[in-house]
Amino acid sequence: MTKEKIISPFAKKIYQLLKQVPSGYVTTYADLARAANCKAYRAVGQVLRNNPFAPTVPCHRVLASDGSLHGFKGLRTKESLELKMQLLKEEGLIFEGKKLKNFSERKWRF
């Protein structure tokens, strides 16, 4: 019984892109979708929510297009967002309120 996880090509692409994002940099769902050859930012969230490669995949480096967080560990609770924010701070990022400072500069380019 080969327990090979059948991951959709789209999801695979997302993981591939996300894995190449270095520490101190962040990306957005829209950007990932764009780099994945699609505009389905929604699907990106779905894929990350499954997160079968965590913590291999730095899903905490994925933020919303406006620099705000949406969820982490498959949870949307304030605690999860706080933890995600904390992790990003540890990577050298600076948060101002609920949004990332210098978001444009911190955004990774594929």
Partner DNA sequence: CATGTGACGCCTG
Partner DNA sequence: CCAGGCGCCACAT
- Given the rule CB under 7 A, which residues bind DNA? 8-11, 28-30, 38-49, 51, 54, 59-60, 62, 64-66, 70-74, 76, 97
Active site residue 59: yes
Which amino acid would we find at residue 7? I
- Which residue among 59, 69, 85, 88 is the active-site one? 59
Burial class (CB in 10 A: 0-12, 13-18, 19+), 60: buried
- As measured in angstroms, the least distance from the Cβ of 9 to DNA is 6
Residue with tokens 């609770």: 77
Which residue's CB is nearer to DNA, number 39 or number 92? 39
State how far Cα 77 lies from the chain centre.
Answer: 16
As a whole number of angstroms, the distance between CA 40 and CA 55 comes to 23
Which residue's CB is nearer to DNA, number 75 or number 94? 75
- As measured in angstroms, the least distance from the Cβ of 92 to DNA is 19
- As measured in angstroms, the least distance from the Cβ of 89 to DNA is 16
Which residue's CB is nearer to DNA, number 25 or number 73? 73
Alpha helix positions (H), the chain: 9-19, 29-35, 41-50, 78-90, 103-106
Kindly list the catalytic residues: 59
